[in-house]
Structure 1
Amino acid sequence: MWIEKIENSKGIRYKYTERFKNPATRKFIKLSITLNSANKQAQKIALEMLRNKFDEKYISAEKQLQEKLQNLTFYTVADEWLEYAKPTVKLMTAINHENYVKRIKKFIPADLFFLNFSPAMAEKIIRDLYYTINLSFGYSKAILETIKAIMRYAKKSGYIYDISDFEEITIKRRPLTENELQKTMNKFLNKNELAECLKQLTALNPRLSLAMEFIALTGLRCGELLALRVQDYDRNNSSINVNATLISKVNNGDEVKRGTPKNIYSYRDVLLNDRAKHIIEWFILENKKSAQWNGRTYKDRGYIFTSKNGYPYDLSYINRILRKINIWDKRITSHIFRHTHISLLAELNTPLKAIMQRVGHHNPNTTLKIYTHVTETMKTELNNKLKALNF
């Protein structure tokens, strides 16, 4: 302990300072108090007061934390992180976080104490997901990042002091399975497949068929399509302004929630050809008719691509209908129409950068996969035609 003499307008006082070792961080901290005297009696009092101050501030707090840790489960910490992160992210990101945590919990007993959750357990979860269950690299990596985020939160909360072993966990891409290779090849439809797909979809739901055709003509994400409002359509300039996405978890009949687009590059104007203009104007006209003729059941919310009652379609409903379509070895989802648009632009030899700007891509990987496959197919077809040339 050392003493510092302080002189000011109030007179002379003495500042007593001592260093203590924080039991939580193992680092030294300094605590101080001020008394009016520096005699031996005052020094004894000062030392006792400093020890009491340290005990109250650090020792008792550490004891309370240790008592909490005795009963703290991994589930509790994961749920705490969800609440901690929710205000800082988009609604769809928060929904994804919840889904990732649910997946992680499937590998962990509900009564597992947090302190018993080890890096080896975390690594096994990722290895099982990616190498055994054969889930995608992107999804498995997202689960890993979620675990790391939970551990970072735990460190901030004082539940754990060293998470370096968790931070060092990595995931290495494995060779693609035959099924994954096939999926890569089947992310889009050729023109004949698109025509057949829309034909089958028209028989199931004509309005939905037009909406999916609109995606194939514009490359919108389904959420972006559903968020389009009448004021987002510029008839004079034949374009739409993409400025939002519809939250997919909102069911028909619930209050519609608009969220921000996926990223800053998703804000864009998209030019429409005559067929796309015809589709969007058909929806606007049909919605006006429904508002006039079916006032009791129809509610105008300003959205364009809606069901007959005025609610934007629910994404899960759309994909449920699309699963009924039978196109050889193709899994039909709303996203395949977006990929189809990219493939159609690639066939037209549209520059990659122009495609990325049109569909709102920042990372070129997805665009390149489709673009490269289409151009390679075009080369193969050209080679076959050249072989057939005979004079």
Structure 2
Amino acid sequence: MASYQKYTTKQGQLWLFKMDTGIDATTGKRQTTTRRGFKTKKEAQAVATKLKQELESGMLINNNNLTFEEVFKQWFTNHCQTIKPSTKKALQSKFKKHILPRFGKLKIKEITNLYCQKMINEIAQQIKSVNDIKIQANQVFKYALKMELITKNPLAYVSIPRSAKEMLSDDNEDTARTYWRKDEIKQFLKICKLELLLRDYALFHLLIYTGARKGELLALTWNDIDFKNATIRFSKTLTHIDGNFITQTSKTKVSKRLISIDDKSLTLLKKLRTSQLETILATKCAFDDNNMVFTRDDGTPMRLAYPNEKLDILIKKYTLHRITIHGLRHTHASLLFEAGAGIKEVQERLGHSDIQMTMNIYTHVTDTVKEQTAEKFQRYIEL
């Protein structure tokens, strides 16, 4: 049986009901549930009747003692149906490494704001991407809230701590720069031409000249390149899951894009294709001809970590300013702005779904662009 009660809030009078939900299998004690926020007694009675039916039919199990890990498994089972295999793999890794060891065995209804803040502070001391960890853990708490397993989200008001480095003034901001300037790019490409195989030189050249994501380039097939119209179509990305290489659709709808390429890039791609065909003829059955642009010596897809490793080796050997493979994409965008391209053009070329992503790069654009902006203003005002 349910009992009903009227109570007063700032918004006026509302109704609640309390109901016996049976024996807790863990403690052996009887327990009750309370549901609040109904405008009328009739609304409360309707929900109470439905809850009673679910309890009697066995549709509703006692969730009072569910751990965070048990709720995570419920949420993840549903969430996996909406994401790509590569995203699923990344999520599993984040939960296994950072979230479940700290929250997994705790009853989700007993996790407090204070504990969440303590754990976020701890994670922040270990990794830079602590905000992403918070976002993922928060999805589980939101799911628990939606399923009425908890009455409030203990992670909702947790703040991300700033590192001491972030709060100190850095006189040498160049050390934090995530892209290369034009002279650095020229130097790097000269090094690549001298040091690397044609395939690797072409890979780094295209990373710089197209601004493509690493996975997009490694998934390219020769059918994606139109030599006549000088274009490349990006519509998929390469990923590695459970020991197998798979290609999956692009990150977002706008990631599928057709971009123009310059004559130098086209010439380089023609040389690479000729070299690859010669290898196929020479090795015959030993080469796995899957029509991919960038492959290993036997024709199989390249490892996703390979470009990162090569870049790291060259940076160390020639004492270059340290950036990542993704930094080459940032470099392409920065140099496009420097060359006079508009924000919309850069957004479409890079396949950004949100123009704010492009704007974030624009706000960190090179000093050359800032100087050009000042010169433009001077020329205009002096006319």
Question: Which category of TM-score, normalised to the shorter sequence, fits these structures?
Answer: 0.7 to 0.9
Q: Which stretch shows the higher mean deviation, 145-154 or 265-274?
A: 145-154
Structure 1 residue identity aligned to 2:281: Q
C-alpha contact (below 8 Å) 2:18/2:33 kept by paired residues: no
Structure 2: give runs of 5+ residues left out of the alignment: 2-16, 21-31, 37-43, 379-383
Select which of 291, 299, 302 maps to 2:280: 291
Q: Tell me what 2:11 maps to.
A: none
**Residue among 142, 147, 160 paired with 1:152:** 142
Counterpart of 1:120 (choices 105, 114, 117) is: 114
Q: CA deviation at 1:83?
A: 2.7
Residues in 2 aligned to 1:218 and 1:328: alpha-carbon distance in whole angstroms: 25
Residue aligning to 1:167: 156
Q: Shift in Å at residue 183 of structure 1?
A: 7.4
- 1:217 deviates by 0.9
Tell me if the contact between 1:226 and 1:246 (Cα under 8 Å) persists in the aligned partners: yes
Q: Quick check: 2:336–2:346 contact (8 Å CA) kept in 1?
A: yes
- Residue 237 of structure 2 aligns with an amino acid whose one-letter code is T
* CA 25–188 in structure 1, closer or farther in 2 if over 3 Å, else same: same
Distance 2:171 2:70 in 1: 36
Instruction: Give the residue type in structure 2 aligned to 1:237.
Output: N
**What pairs up with 1:182-201 in 2 under 5 angstroms?**
182=173, 185-201=176-192
The change in CA–CA distance for 1:168 and 1:229 in structure 2 (over 3 A counts) is same
Alignment counterpart, residue 55 of structure 2, candidates 30, 53, 58: 58
Cα distance in 1 between the residues matched to 2:168 and 2:269: 40
Structure 1 pair 332–207 and aligned structure 2 pair: CA distance change class (3 A): farther
- Answer whether contact 1:227 1:246 (CA < 8 A) is retained: yes
Contact 1:201 1:322 in 2 (8 A): no
Q: Is the Cα contact below 8 Å between 2:181 and 2:366 reproduced in 1? A: no
Q: How far 1:73 sits from its partner (Å)?
A: 3.5
Matched, 1:331 2:325: no
Task: Report the Cα distance in structure 2 between the residues aligned to 1:179 and 1:134, rounded to whole angstroms.
Answer: 21
- 3-state secondary structure, aligned to 1:349: coil
In structure 2, give the amino acid aligned to 1:65.
N
Distance 1:29 1:343, change over 3 A: same
CA RMSD of aligned residues (A): 3.8
Residue of 210, 226, 231 corresponding to 1:234: 226
Residues 313-372 of structure 1: per-residue CA shift (max 9 Å, x gap): 222122122211225463243222222211221221111221111111233445345444
For residue 344 of structure 2, what is the aligned residue in structure 1?
A: 353
One-letter amino acid of the counterpart of residue 335, structure 1: H
Is structure 2 residue 54 aligned with structure 1 residue 85? no
Shift of 1:272: 0.7
- Displacement after TM superposition at 1:236 (Å): 1.6
TM-score normalised per structure 1: 0.72
Query: Are the counterparts in 1 of residues 98 and 123 from structure 2 also a CA contact under 8 Å?
Result: no
| Equivalent pair of 1:243/1:260 in contact (CA under 8 Å) | yes
Q: CA deviation at 1:232?
A: 1.3
Distance 1:97 1:289, change over 3 A: same
Instruction: Give the match's secondary structure for 1:256.
Output: strand
Relative to 1, partners in 2 of residues 1:176 and 1:197: Cα closer, same or farther, differing over 3 Å? farther
2:35 paired residue among 26, 34, 37: 26
CA distance 1:54–1:257, change in 2 (3 Å): closer
Q: Which of the residues 248, 258, 271 maps onto 2:247?
A: 258
Secondary structure of the corresponding residue to residue 232 of structure 2: strand
1:36 maps to none
Out of 89, 92, 110, which is 1:95 matched to?
Answer: 89
State the SS of the aligned residue for 2:314: coil
Q: Which residue of 1 aligns with 2:132?
A: 142
Q: SS at the partner of 2:259?
A: strand
Note if contact 2:102-2:119 (Cα within 8 Å) is conserved in structure 1: no
* Contact 1:185 1:373 (C-alpha < 8 Å) held by counterparts: no
Measure how far apart 1:107 and its partner are: 5.5
Does 1:302 pair with 2:291?
yes
Whether 2:213 is the aligned partner of 1:221: answer yes
TM-score normalized by the length of structure 2: 0.74
**Alpha-carbon displacement from aligned partner over 1:84-116 (angstroms, at most 9, x marks no partner):** 311111223222322321343375176434444
SS at match of 2:285: coil
In the alignment, residue 182 of structure 2 is paired with which amino acid? K
- Matches of 1:355 and 1:180, distance apart in 2: 30
Farther off after superposition, 374-383 or 193-202 = 374-383
User: d(CA) in 1 for partners of 2:248 and 2:209?
Assistant: 23
Q: Does 1:320 align with 2:312?
A: no
The structural deviation recorded for 1:30 is 5.0
User: What percentage of aligned pairs have identical amino acids?
Assistant: 25
Deviation at 1:60, TM superposition (A): 9.0
Partner of 2:335: 344
Write out per-residue CA displacement over residues 244-286 of structure 1, whole angstroms, 9 at most, x where no aligned residue: 1112x348xx543112212222121110101111222223223
TM-fit CA distance, 1:24 = 3.5
Query: Residues 206 and 24 from structure 1, CA distance in 2 versus in 1: closer, same or farther, beyond 3 angstroms?
Result: farther
* Residue identity matched to 1:322: L
- 1:38-57 alignment runs, 5 A limit: 57=54
